[in-house]
Structures are given as C-alpha cells and as structure tokens.
Amino acid sequence: MFPLPLHGALDPASRRAGTTPGSFAARPDVGGPRAFSSPDSPGMPPPSDKTAWDFLPPGWKRDPTTGFAIAPEGFRPVTQLEFARLGIVTPQMRRVAEREGHLTPEQVRDEVAAGRMIVPANRAHLSMRLDPMAIGRAARTKVNANLGASPVRASVDEEVEKMRWAVRWGADTVMDLSTGGDLDRCREAIVRAATVPVGTVPIYQMIVGRSVEELDERVILETVRRQAEQGVDYFTIHAGVRLAHLPLVRDRLIGIVSRGGSLLARWMIAHGRDNPMYELFDALCEILREHDVSFSLGDGLRPGGLADATDAAQLAELEVLGELTERAWRHGCQVMVEGPGHVPFDHVEYNMKLQRRVCHGAPFYVLGPLVTDMFPGYDHIASAIGATAAAYHGASMLCYVTPKEHLGLPRRDDVKQGCVAYRIAAHAADVALGIPGSRDRDDELTRARAALHWQRQFELAFDGELARALHDEDLDVDTDFCAMCGHDWCSVRISKQIAQFASGKDPAFQRGRPAPSPGLSEAQIALLEARGEASPERLHRLAARTRRAVGGEVGQKAVCHSDLVDEAQARRLQHERLAAAVDDASTP
C-alpha cells in the first residue's frame, strides 16, 4: 500500500462522514500567502514574499505594536482596503464572513489589508441592493457571468432578466459587456437590479460614436468617472498591454483576442505611443478610489488558442500587471488580476502560481481556461475542466463560458448552462482544497441517495427540477430502485439491506413507502418534450398528475395559478398540494 499524499489540509465536511481520508491539498494558510492551495508541483514558482502592506501610500507607516497602519493626520478612509489597513472591520467585511461561514470578520479584514482579497462594493451600489461578497483564495471560489447587448441584439429588459437568471443559477458577479443599444441605460438598469457586484469594460463605451484612434484623455477619464458614479463595482482596465509588447504578437496563430487589447493595439500603432490606459493609470486610480471601484487588471494579450499559450507576449504583460497592482495598492485601490483563456491542461498550475508570485497574491480572475480548442458548442464543458484546475491551483474567481462562446451572443439557456458548468468547477475545487463545510451538501445528498429517498435528493440537488424530470421520464414512482438497474440489480438497495453496512440507514433520511411522483411542472414537461425521448402519452400522464394534485382540470387554471393568486402564494399552494398528493399516495 502506497502512503496517502496527505499534507495537512482540513476536512471539507463539517462533521465526519464516510471513510475518505480527506483532502490531499496543502495545509491551510489563511493569513499567509497560500490560504487554501494545492501542493506545488516541482518547478512551480513559490509565493511572493510581498503583500499590499509593502506598497503603502506615501506618508503611511505601520504601527509596530498593532501591525495596522497609521495614516497621515486628517486622512479619511474610503476603500475597503484603506479601512482594513487601519484595522477597521467594516459592515461589508462582517457580511462577507457571514456568507463565507469559515472565515471570521477579522480574517476577512486581514486578507483585504494584505491585498489577497477584495470586497467589490461601489459606495453607490451599496446604497441600492448590493449584498457584499469577497473574491480571494481564502474565500470560496466565485463565478462571474458575462452579459451585455450587442449591435446585432440589444434589449435592456432582456439583459436585466439575464442578470437575474445568471444569479439564480449561481453567478456571484456579473459583467455588463454591452457594445450596442443605450449603454448607459442598460448599465444603470443592471446595477439597480443587481444584488451581486457588477463589472464593466469601460473602453467599450469609449469608442461608441468614434473610432478608437480618436480616443483621448478626456474621453477615457470622463467615461470611467460616469460609470463609477452609476455604481459599477469593478472595471476591467487593459493597462498592461504596452507598445513594446506588440512585436511579440506578430507570429501568433490568432493574434490578440481580447477586445480591449486589440483596440488599444490599434491605437498605439496609429499614434506611435504607449497605451493611454498605462499612461493615465494614476489618474484612473484616483477615480476608482473615490468610489471604491475595484480594479480588474485586464489580460489584453491573453492567448486565444492553445498554440499561443504561456508565450512571451502573455508573460510580458503579466509582469506589467504586477507593477500596476503595486501602483494601485499605493493609491489605496482594491485589485484583482485577469488571466488567460486558452491554456493546455499541463500549463494551468504554472500560470496560476506565476501570477500569485508576480502579483503578490492579488486575487486571480480567469476566463476558463479552455483546455482544448476543437469543441465549439461545448466550450462551457471544455473550459470548466480547465477552470476546476485553475481554482484548485490558485484562481479566486472563474469567468464562465457558455455554449455560445466563439459563436454568438448567449441566450437565456446558454447563460444557465454556463453558470451550472462553472458552479460545478468552483465547487469541485473548493472540496478538493479542503475549505471547511464545502462538502456538506454532497454528503447530505449521498445520505439521501443511500437511503433511496428520491425527494430529498432532488431538494439537495443544485438543479432539482431537472433531476426530478429525468428520473420521472423513465419511472414516475419513488421506490427503492431507478430505471438504470431495476429492482434486482440495484446495488444501493442491496447495500441498504445488508445489516452489517451503515449505508442507507440514517434515520433522518428514511422515506417510508414507495409513492408515485407528484407530477411535473410545465417547465419540466417542456424539458422532456425537447429531449424527445418520452412518448406524448407518457408526458400527458405526467402533466395530468400535476393538474390533479393542484386542483386543475383540462382547460382550467389550478387554484395555485399565478393569474389567480400572487406569486408567493402560488408557490406555497403548489408545494402544499403536491406534498399532499405524495402523502396520499403513500398511505396504505
């Protein structure tokens, strides 16, 4: 027997469950440079020995007694970073600790002060509906969903609905990447409706009505200021692309795939000058600090295909992003850094740990990465594989990819598919890292599965409606087997019957007698119709069962229909009627 590669990681379950030895990740180092991390493979860059504490603003110093900062007389903190440096726990930090569960407010403060965590919370958005959250490797892995109208398809209402839909399916932040329609109106509507942080890429609006070559200092600063005043929580600023980098792109297979990076490359070539975002970076810092907008330092030279990954252009830009991280910290601004989008699987760990060193532990926000380029239409799957590895090796937030990536503007179902794929990636990484409590729901579902308690499984499932519909497509009875194996071959049923096994015997998960399923909703029926596997007769029977359970007849609306009662009451009535139907069916 080979020894287990245990490194001191915590158990990701809150209470001991099953027989697993636990996580193979590194010992947790919250308060240090590794936080929750994977063990370093040979040759990986070690963490930086610097943090945001090494880049204090002029006139600041650290109190040798408390370890916190002493600001110049008369200074008033504005950003979460400034409050944290002064030793102050803000209400937003307390809310982050409450939501994370495994961190104290003081730990959140200390991670923010070190620059390893950000709390993206524009002061204007805080006055609306924002529920503060944190991005950093001491926290759980976060997921971003990109939204936005295009010149081909532009609807404010549709983008607001996409935002709500993305949050419903697990997005922790959203980015409005609109390039068409009324950009100000769309952005304002999203920010006002969003409970999650909202990010943008200001250069998209800067070139509306003008060519990129006409971009100047006034337009850049006015656009950034206007979006900050609207309440945007973080900006992608492509300030790391330098004029000297452009020759490094010449022989790439696919050039520059970042919109912002390609636009600024055109500007630099046209003017023979360096990147205006780089030249104006200190002025940008002043605006972002005033509103506590976080920097998301854009990777304008990220690779757009495996053949260009980890090349000289990408790494040269990363060095500049490290410099800009230091400069932003000196201004009191919160910073995260964006990372590559197409990376071979064997390059992922190196990319994550190189950023950790060069940018002194600032949170890493990565798109994917895709680990193969030949599956358009399935890029949400190809990239979720890379995203899981990225989060395990150090990324703090994952930008989702949808099935429409490289093909078109995502629609409603594309948004769901992208969010679900990336929630899987983020959650898998958190469990692997041994983040306390991250495996609790998995274990609860396993207990329900072992007990063959179908309804409890669906309640615990991330998408219980889909799981219930797929179960009932073949067997619309909750009994001690499913249609995969049938009664005699069901290993879970057999394990439950063996008296010497604990499997399936948890008293809290016993389901009682077999019972017909309560029926499916219209959305579930539509899903099965789209699959085309169940016969019309079977779908009709499943739908009829639901109608009977909620008191509706063919051609009539049930008493729980939202046209007859308000939405909350409709949900309550439907839940009660369906539950009663199950109880009645299980009564002998």
pLDDT tens digits in sequence order for the chain, 588 residues long? 899 999 999 999 998 889 999 999 999 999 999 999 999 999 999 999 999 999 999 999 999 999 999 999 999 999 999 999 999 999 999 999 999 999 999 999 999 999 999 999 999 999 999 999 999 999 999 999 999 887 777 789 999 999 999 999 999 999 999 998 899 999 999 999 999 999 999 999 999 999 999 999 999 999 999 999 999 999 999 999 999 999 999 999 999 999 999 999 999 999 999 999 999 999 999 999 999 999 999 999 999 999 999 999 999 999 999 999 999 999 999 999 999 999 999 999 999 999 999 999 999 999 999 999 999 999 999 999 999 999 999 999 999 999 999 998 889 999 999 999 999 999 999 999 999 999 999 999 999 999 999 999 999 999 999 999 999 999 998 999 888 898 889 999 999 999 999 999 999 999 888 888 888 989 999 999 999 998 888 888 888 776 665 454 444 444 334 444 455 554 554 455 445 544 444 444
- Contact status, residue 141 vs residue 170, Cβ threshold 8 Å: no
Tokens in use for 561?
Answer: 């229909």
Distance (Å, whole) CA 237 – CA 251: 25
**How many Cβ atoms from other residues are within 10 Å of residue 127's Cβ?**
9
**pLDDT computed for residue 511 by the predictor:** 86
Alpha-carbon torsion 454, 456, 457, 461, what sign? positive
Q: What is the DSSP letter of 533?
A: -
HEC string for 77-145: CCCHHHHHHCCCCCHHHHHHHHHHCCCCHHHHHHHHHCCCEECCCCHHHHCCCCCCCCEECCCCCEEEE
- Residues listed for the chain: 588
What are residue 366's phi and psi, to 5 degrees?
-120, 145
Residues 519, 468: Cα–Cα separation, whole Å: 9
DSSP state of 342: B
- Map 314-337 to HEC letters: HHHHHHHHHHHHHHHHHCCCCEEE
Backbone angle region of 139, left / alpha / beta, with phi > 0 → left and psi within -120 to 50 → alpha: beta
Phi, psi (rounded to 5 degrees) for 103: -120, 145
SS (H, E, C) 226-258: HHHHHCCCEEEECCCCCHHHHHHHCCCCCCCCC
Strand bridging mode 515-516 / 477-478: antiparallel
pLDDT of residue 148: 87
> Is the CB of residue 264 less than 8 Å from the CB of residue 241?
yes
The C-alpha atoms of residue 329 and residue 159 are separated, in whole angstroms, by 33
Return the pLDDT at 21.
Answer: 94
Alpha-carbon distance 452 to 221, whole Å? 60
- pLDDT for the residue 569: 56
Nearest in space to 136 (alpha carbons), one of 395, 453, 418, 454: 395
Can you read off the two tokens belonging to residue 539? Answer: 């779908």
Residues 6+ apart with CB under 8 A from 218: none
pLDDT computed for residue 584 by the predictor: 46
Within 13 Å and on the Cβ side, how many CA atoms surround 102? 21
Instruction: Please state which CATH number belongs to domain 119-433.
Output: 3.20.20.540
Token pair of 400 as six digits = 């989702």
Q: How far apart are CA 29 and CA 396, in angstroms?
A: 15
Omega before residue 42 within 30° of 0, cis: no
Determine the longest span between alpha carbons in the chain, in angstroms. Answer: 84
CB atoms < 10 A from the CB of 340, how many? 28
Residue 410, number of CB atoms within 10 A of its CB = 24
The reported pLDDT for the residue numbered 409 is: 86
Structure confidence at residue 512 (pLDDT):
86
Nearest-angstrom CA–CA distance, 555 and 108: 56
The candidate with the shortest Cα–Cα distance to 297, out of 378, 364, 386, 230, is: 364
Which among 287, 301, 297 has a CA at the least distance from the CA of 341? 301
Give yes or no for a contact between 273 and 99, defined as CB atoms under 8 angstroms apart: no
Measured distance CA(366)–CA(385) in Å, rounded: 13
Which amino acid would we find at residue 6?
L
Q: How far apart are CA 395 and CA 366, in angstroms?
A: 7
Q: Kindly list the domain boundaries of the chain, sorted by start residue.
A: 119-433, 440-586
Q: Please enumerate in sequence order all residues whose Cβ is within 8 A of that of 417, keeping only pairs 6 or more positions apart, or say none.
A: 380, 402, 403
∠66-67-69 over CA atoms, to 5°?
Answer: 100
3-state SS class at 477: strand
CA distance 548 to 551: 5
